[in-house]
Amino acid sequence: MLFFFLAFAALLLPSVIGFGVVTSGNSLIVTTDGGLVFTVDQTTGDITSLKFNGIEAQDQSGKHSQISSGIGASCTWVQTGNESNYIKITCTTGTLIQQVLDSLLYSNIITKKFQFSYYVARRNDPAIHMATFTTAEPTVGELRYIARLNRATVPNGFPQSDVNGGTAIEGSDVFLVNGQTRSKFYSSRQFIDDAVKGVTGPNIGVFMIVPGTGFESSSGGPFFRDIDNQGSAQQELYFCELHCINQYSSANQSLFSLADMNSGHTNTEADRQGMHGPYALWFTTGAAPSGAIDTTFWDGLAVSGWVTQSGRGRVTGTATGIASTFSTLQSIGFSNSVAEYWVRTDTSGKFTSPFMKPGTYTMTLYKVELAVATQTVTVTAGGLLTSNIASAEANPAVIWQIGDFDGTPRGFLNADMIERMHPSDTRMHSWGPVTFTIGQAVSSFPMAIFQAVGPVTIRFTLASNQGGARTLQIGTTLAFAGARPQITLNGFTGPAPSPPSQPDSRGVTRGTWRGNNIMYTVSIPSGVLLTGSSVNTLTINPISGSSGDGFLSPNFVFDAIRLF
């Protein structure tokens, strides 16, 4: 009888032991006292079980939650930090270290949701805090943490990323489902707005949180976007640590930790090494948690690559010179080869940066997504530097303008849908060829033009004093296959621009317009423009030394166009 009692007790042990770790074969079973019990295979670094309030969220078909498709790590653990109120599991392989943290008690730490005193064990931290440390380009391909979840448990993902039962129509990542295009890419959001993403089910929600400085070792800037969620056999939730993309769903759901390295997903800069994160896999009964979780507890955990808050500095100041119509859409970015940060200004232009690693940074003022000023700042440990910045954007008096020069195609035809569906989707408006007459609604001007679809034509008249030599400017945000604009205006043909410097990747078909903003300027000689009742005809063609079919033919995305 005693034998059977002990055996039964052993089966119950992980759920009743309270905060702690139980070793069972190769498994480290961690009880958080916050409703979450998770299991790590110490021979691989994979998470094999995620039980929240007794509900198994981890997919059990054989695919685990892991870095990329697994890193084959070996793991050790220690109870440490702040009076041993943390369990730290360190999984090491080659040039990559994955840190998994589970907290029970924060000593003198206050967050919006949790408040702990030094003496109180708070058994309601339903999260796994994580970070990844690299010293060189990893061999795992795309560096992203993927929580591969049970779709039956968390069926509610992003509808535009649900590819279950779909047929691939582009590569192996864009699908047609019940007449609608779906892709994991269509779950993506820009990093600056991507602190919290998740999937839900009855009595459970699983969320990836990337707080504060969690993106500091990623790359691409504040407006880069990458996969958050993908669902097929699993519901996958991502943190793409060095470049990834954002979600789709099918038979099961997957939630991705997003800050991916090596993906080539329209990234505009080199990858950074060091500590990626911290980030957290957070469990709730369904409601989304706050993204403003306190990460200063990492200061006492002896984690490779972590810089304590006291060893960091901040930048404060005021941004000026951007029109008031963009006052809620301006931000400040900081970047160097080691780290990147960003912060939105308030409506008066005031800002204070996150806590940043010491170093010299390029500080950039963005009008929506368009860089309109840069300067250099040097951050010191414990320092608070004041550095005001003013827009240096040229604002000529225009004869006419189509759209806003803000680094985006927002307001143009199909721009309101391109982030969540393929250009071929039947819900899209016709891409053309389009003839646009100055004075029409901007929403009838296409956000992008494709070589296989045809050019865009602009018709306009000018007053008698608006002729002569003039300047035409065409702003673009992204191009594919070397596309760039060449114009014909009445009988005049503009020069063929050089191929642009843009990411070597599909873009607009993956739901993004973010590349390198490029301004093309064409000097129009005197005698070309017609005045009075005569109609001027301007044609813009996407020229390229490459070719392609349909929406994979050379193309570029418009920012705005002006004549002055």
Q: Assess whether 385 and 435 both reside in one domain.
A: no
- At residue 296, the pLDDT reads 87
CATH code assigned at 500: 2.60.120.260
Picking from 76-90, 373-387, 464-478, which range would have the lowest pLDDT averaged per residue? 76-90
Q: Which pLDDT does position 411 carry in this prediction?
A: 98
277 plus 373 within the same structural domain: no
- pLDDT on residue 416: 98
Residue 137 pLDDT: 65
Residue 2 in domain: no
Does any domain span residue 145?
Answer: yes
Give the model's pLDDT for residue 97: 67
Residue 186 lies in a domain: yes
Q: Among residues 369, 390, 411, which one ends one of the domains?
A: 390
- Examine the domain organization and report whether 87 and 231 are in the same domain: yes
Indicate whether 196 pLDDT > 50.
Answer: yes
455: Cβ contacts below 8 Å, ≥ 6 apart: 433, 449, 539, 540, 541, 542
Q: Is residue 304, in this structure, part of any structural domain at all?
A: no
Cα angle 231, 236, 238 (rounded to 5 degrees) comes to 130
Q: Which of 97-101, 115-119, 386-390, 427-431 has the lowest mean pLDDT?
A: 115-119
Do 417 and 531 belong together in one domain? yes
504 in the same domain as 379: no
pLDDT over threshold 90, residue 302:
no
Is the same domain home to 283 and 192?
A: yes
| Higher local confidence (pLDDT), 67 or 399 | 399
Percent pLDDT > 90 in the chain is: 69
User: Are 353 and 498 members of one domain?
Assistant: no
Give the residue from 390, 413, 439 where a domain finishes: 390
438 vs 110: CA distance, rounded Å: 56
More confident of the two residues 295 and 437: 437
377 with 293, same domain: the answer is no
The residue type of 235 is Q
456 and 375 in one domain? no
| Token pair in block for residue 217 | 């070792």
Average pLDDT over residues 132-153: 81
pLDDT at residue 269 in the model = 79
Q: Quote the distance between the C-alpha of residue 497 and its chain's center.
A: 31
What is the pLDDT at residue 246? Answer: 31
State the sign of the Cα–Cα–Cα–Cα dihedral 366, 367, 373, 379: negative
The kind and range of the H/E element at 342 are strand 340-344
Q: What is the DSSP letter of 393?
A: -
Residue-range definition of the domain harbouring residue 405? 400-563
Average pLDDT along the chain: 87
Query: Is position 449 within any domain?
Result: yes
Which are the contacts of 346, defined by CB distance < 8 A and separation ≥ 6?
A: none
Mean pLDDT of 352-356: 98
pLDDT given for residue 262 in this prediction: 34
In-domain check, residue 429: yes
Say whether pLDDT at 490 is over 80: yes
Asked if residue 106 has pLDDT above 50, the reply is: no
The Cα–Cα gap between 236 and 228 comes to 8
Q: Which of 324, 359, 390 is the last residue of a domain?
A: 390
- Could you read off the pLDDT of 463-476 as tens digits, one per residue? 999 999 999 999 99
Domain identity same for 324 and 371: yes
Report percent pLDDT > 70 for the chain.
Answer: 87
| Mean pLDDT value across residues 404-415 | 98
State the total domains in the chain: 3
26 falls within a domain: yes
Q: Which residues pair with 167 in a beta bridge?
A: 176
What are the tens digits of pLDDT across the range 254-294?
Answer: 444 333 333 445 667 788 988 888 899 999 999 999 999 88
- Of residues 161 and 79, the one with the higher pLDDT is 161
Residue 61 is part of a domain; what is its CATH number? 2.70.98.10
| Cα–Cα distance measured from residue 144 to residue 227, given in angstroms and rounded to the nearest whole number | 10
Specify whether 76 is located in the same domain as 182. Answer: yes
395 domain-assigned: no
Residue 244 pLDDT greater than 50, yes or no: no
Say whether pLDDT at 28 is over 60.
yes
Residues 48, 13 share a domain: yes
